[in-house]
Amino acid sequence: MCGIVGYIGKRDATPILLEGLHRLEYRGYDSAGIAVVRDGALRTAKCKGRVRDLEQVVPPRFRGSPGIAHTRWATHGEPSDRNAHPHLDTAERIAVIHNGIIENAAALRRRLEGEGVAFRSETDTEVLAHLIAAMPGESLLERVRAALRLVTGTWGLAVLDRDRPESIVVARNGSPVVLGIGDKEMFVASDPSALVRHTKSVVHLDDGEIAEVRADGFASSTLDGGPTEKVRHTVTWTDESFDKGSFTHHMRKEIDEQPDAVRATLSGRLEPRFQTSHLGGIEMTARELLDIRRVKVLGCGSAYIAGLLGAQLIEQLARLPASAEPASEFRYRNPVIEPDTLYIAVSQSGETFDTLAAVQEVKRKGGRVLGIVNVVGSTIARECGRGIYIHAGPEVAVVSTKTFTCTATAFALLALHLGRIRDLSTAQGARLIAGLKALPEQIGAVLAQEADIAGLASQLARAEHAYFVGRASGYPVAMEGALKLKEVSYLHAEAYPASELKHGPLALIAPETPTIVVLPRDDLFPKNISTIEEIRARKGPVFVVTHEGDLPVPVDGVMRVAKSEPELDPILLGLPLQLLAYHVALARGCDIDKPRNLAKSVTVE
């Protein structure tokens, strides 16, 4: 969740590092800091708050190279100046920045205090700085390697040695580290977004690897010292992709990008000749796919909810039993891994720690797993080895919008592919292909209704609680709508299956508590109208997201979308709820792109 940036080369590191920290702000953080080496001295600056606050405390002429910088999301110790990274050893020779958690930090701290070390912070990371300084070894690499052999936990870290400024040592175990390769200069980051202004050529470290990074290149190895071979990847995103452009917020920009993002997800993947989809990245033959007897989708947050939609699509179109489960729960319950089950891991960043751990558990027990991921070359994508990239482009806002829509679209492609291998007819395949082709234009039409949705948002912004309900495929849409609203506006929102309303949640309905009903015009339309009547009978305000046409009951607000194919309707029905959440947050004066306590890429447990 924290951010790491490093630079070594002939240029002054400070502006590069601060710029990189700004690029990583979306990951979520509460403090920031920087360290550079110049003329044999280690210079540091750090503070609680935003990167802009750090820029105010960085002294004039704060120059040097190499350098490292960090944004921290508190785990051990409250957000404060002294707990911000980098952390130094007693002699202020070693500087460390670290993402992750050192699980045996308390025991190591007691050992070091027994040796006379006085700690300045409450963090687990400061333990690393003192431990590295205490290790024997001629080089910084040897010292870091020796220290990490004593450590239990997760880390993505970068280390500077004031007395050996010719290198930065980095290591990874459970938290991403990326090396950027330049012209006689090298970059380090926890996310390629911090590097794209300077290089498109990157290398991803794997768990258990350590690397010595010099201006003219790098050498990677295992903690035991064995050399490792790394493959370069090319980052396709441009620097401009991370800017807001003419929009006030990244979230609003990314909502607006959805027609083009869905086009990119579909590009080259529709096969009208055989009325199916072409998904070469799954690397499984028709015979192997026919052997699949069930599907299990794993993800966290919006990725999990997209997985619920995906599981329903697979059941509908391929007639395979399918379900979705939070990856964070799956990995802890000693799951039974079946050889005829296909596991699908979903993650926007491709670095979500719980999802990665679930993938590793499936693989350890001999299961087959595919990834549905946005970031090319990310850890989950590499760990799975096969799957579907959604190609949504960078998503900077913490709140997922376009990647949710594109993930649901990717699931539709996969369900179509599985269905056509099985019993889905050519006529049904043609119907779905036509529906998928129409999605980008239909998405644009929904977004054109923003002014009307903003008017409804002004009414909701005055509420303290809101409830979302839906049936069948409408329930995941309701879940995602509630999640968006609570994430970005801090308005308490919960989602329930409409069929469960009278089994308890109906007690919460009151005149001051609005309910948003997902109301597709399908076979369940009459039952959903009955749900609305139940809410109105308790004088609860009702807002609906539905298709074109008159409603047989009065409601307090309507958001309408075009009718698609029934299997694809949830993709369109979710769009007004994104705009609704955005405008409620705007009306409530919230920090839309960086909601409190949240992060885009959750790389800790």
Place of tokens 């300084």: 133
Cα–Cα distance for residue pair 29/123, rounded to 1 Å? 15
Burial class of residue 131 in the structure, from the number of CB atoms within 10 Å of its CB (0-12 exposed, 13-18 middle, 19+ buried): buried
Q: What's the CA gap between 287 and 488, in Å, rounded? A: 45
Inter-residue contact 314 to 414 (CB < 8 Å): yes
Q: What's the CA gap between 102 and 88, in Å, rounded? A: 16
How does DSSP classify residue 374? S
- d(Cα 321, Cα 342) in Å, to the nearest integer? 11
Q: Which of 571, 554, 553, 525 is nearest to 562 (CA)?
A: 571
The structure tokens listed for 130 are 């003192």
Q: Among all residues, which ones are annotated catalytic?
A: 2, 600
Tokens of 209: 């690897």
* Separation CA 56–CA 217 (nearest Å): 33
**How does DSSP classify residue 524?**
T
Contacts of 239 (CB under 8 A, 6+ apart): 196, 197
Cα distance between residue 193 and residue 24, in whole Å: 7
Token code pair at residue 448: 């054109």
Question: Contact, 256 vs 447, CB < 8 A?
Answer: yes
- In the chain, DSSP finds a helix count (H) and a strand count (E) of 19, 26
